[in-house]
Amino acid sequence: MNAQRVRVKSSAGDYSVYVGEKILPQGLQSHLPAKVPVAMLVDEGIAALPLTLAIFAWLEKRASRVVRVRIPAGERSKSVEEYGRVVRQLAGAGLTRDGWIVAVGGGVTGDLAGFVAATYLRGLPVIQIPTTVVSMVDSSVGGKTGIDLPEGKNLVGAFHPPKAVLADLRWLDSLPLAEKRAGMAEVLKYGAIADSKLFGSLAKGPPRSMKKVVKRCVEIKAKLAGEDERDLKGKRALLNFGHTVAHGLEGIVGYEGLRHGEAVAIGMVVAAHLSVKARRFKKKAAEKLKAAIRAHGLPVTHPELRWDRLSPVMARDKKATTQGIRWVLLKKIGKADLVTGVTEKKIQLALEEVREGKLPKG
């Protein structure tokens, strides 16, 4: 298989992430046993693509039988209702305890399929086949699975590491430009929190080749997830840079009105402004981050950046504790930490600055 490999440590058993081109469907052979039943959960938006059909045809030859379940595109599929529909379809099809789940799609499909795998028949093995930038660099790696509630995002879930992740870069050729741009927000996040060199290579716009970029992001994710698999020490929470405000915005404007990556981009700008106020992050560095986000065609502000609107939603964020919200803030480009006890006044000022397009103030 012509791919670069990253090993991820897990208490449930280490697994590999493969990044490359033309690794599917043959790459499945080393990880999926022959003659077992398989449920292929696939994003309906890519269900008719040639590569998707090739995977399905390969599975039909490899597996004892294949149950194909289409997942509607969009964040709304990460719901209790859609979860119930999927597990009932698997039960109705008679998927047995020796079955496997193969998830083909972006972050929504991967999160939902992973949670189905973690819970159906008390747990089945899953192979993740991410098809978007976000799912390749982030959501398919690390074992977090879950669904949303009306009260907040990712409030129900389980830690269920995959048996393998196969990131075939050919999927990216089929992505709309807006989706590619949104995915780059997560890539910029990795540079901002953990790799100034990566950030510098992306500061003026998209890279010529995604292979090295995806691999580097996976390496960072693998390191943080391996050191803090169940998000108990705070190290893994660094991956949520920009996400506190992002999830708040998504909750307010609706998942159809703002792409996740766009919300993360705005959230990173707010976090940068807050870092200036709470962590002595340099103002020039905050502006550098904002300029990089703009260079990727991503938004840096939103009219709903208002404390009275966001605070009720952010209070239910999964990173919140009895001490309040734990913010991921920057010390410098390439280094971040978790901070609690940030005053309401500082948060309000940061939101106001970003909403009104002002420069950050210390």
What CATH code is carried by the domain that includes residue 197? Answer: 1.20.1090.10
Q: Are residues 222 and 73 in the same domain?
A: no
Calculate the alpha carbon distances from 43 to 37, 110, 125 in Å: 20, 9, 19
pLDDT of residue 1 exceeding 80, the answer is no
- Beta-bridged to residue 330, according to DSSP, are 336
Q: Are residues 272 and 297 in the same domain?
A: yes
Q: What is the mean pLDDT of residues 303-318?
A: 88
DSSP annotation string for 15-52 = EEEEEESS-TTGGGGGTS-TT-EEEEEEEGGGTTSHHH
Q: What pLDDT is attached to residue 65? A: 97
Closest CA relative to residue 248, chosen from 308, 159, 187: 308
Q: What is the mean pLDDT of residues 250-277?
A: 93
56 vs 351: CA distance, rounded Å: 47
Q: What is the mean pLDDT of residues 2-23?
A: 95
Lowest mean pLDDT segment, chosen from 81-90, 254-263, 313-322 = 313-322
Q: What pLDDT is attached to residue 322? A: 54
362 vs 344: CA distance, rounded Å: 15
pLDDT of residue 320 exceeding 70, the answer is no
Q: What pLDDT is attached to residue 169? A: 97
- Which of 174, 191, 218 is the C-terminal boundary of a domain? 174
Q: Are residues 59 and 203 in the same domain?
A: no
Q: Are residues 151 and 196 in the same domain?
A: no
Contacts of 3 (CB under 8 A, 6+ apart): 18, 19, 20, 23, 27
Contact predicate 225/240, CB 8 Å: no
Q: What pLDDT is attached to residue 323? A: 66
Q: What pLDDT is attached to residue 60? A: 98
- Which of 153, 174, 195 is the C-terminal boundary of a domain? 174
pLDDT of residue 302 exceeding 80, the answer is yes
Please report, rounded to a whole number, the percentage of residues in the chain having pLDDT higher than 90. 89
Q: Are residues 139 and 212 in the same domain?
A: no
> In the numeric block, which tokens belong to residue 224?
């943080």
Lowest mean pLDDT segment, chosen from 67-76, 126-135, 237-246, 248-257 = 248-257
Contact predicate 341/321, CB 8 Å: no
Q: What is the mean pLDDT of residues 47-65?
A: 98
270 vs 267: CA distance, rounded Å: 5
Calculate the alpha carbon distances from 64 to 96, 124, 319 in Å: 11, 16, 42
Q: Which amino acid is at 161?
A: P
E strand or H helix at 79:
none
pLDDT of residue 362 exceeding 60, the answer is yes
Q: Are residues 142 and 276 in the same domain?
A: no
Q: Residues 309, 314, 325, CA angle at the centre, nearest 5°?
A: 135
Q: What is the mean pLDDT of residues 192-202?
A: 98
Q: Which amino acid is at 262?
A: E
Number of domains forming the structure of the chain: 2
pLDDT of residue 93 exceeding 60, the answer is yes
CATH of the domain at 54: 3.40.50.1970
Contact predicate 191/199, CB 8 Å: yes
Phi/psi for 204 (5° steps) reads -105, 0
Q: What pLDDT is attached to residue 22? A: 94
Range of the domain at 236: 177-354
- State the chain's mean pLDDT as an integer: 95
Q: What pTM value is reported for the model?
A: 0.94
Q: What is the mean pLDDT of residues 219-233?
A: 91
For the chain, how long is the longest CA-to-CA vector? 63
Coil vs helix vs strand at 156: strand
Please report, rounded to a whole number, the percentage of residues in the chain having pLDDT higher than 70. 98
Q: What pLDDT is attached to residue 314? A: 87
Calculate the alpha carbon distances from 53 to 24, 29, 47, 349 in Å: 11, 16, 7, 51
168 vs 139: CA distance, rounded Å: 15
Contact predicate 99/78, CB 8 Å: no
Q: Are residues 162 and 129 in the same domain?
A: yes
Q: Are residues 232 and 343 in the same domain?
A: yes
12 vs 280: CA distance, rounded Å: 40
pLDDT of residue 340 exceeding 80, the answer is yes
Share of the chain residues as helix, strand and coil, in percent rounded to the nearest 5: 50, 20, 30
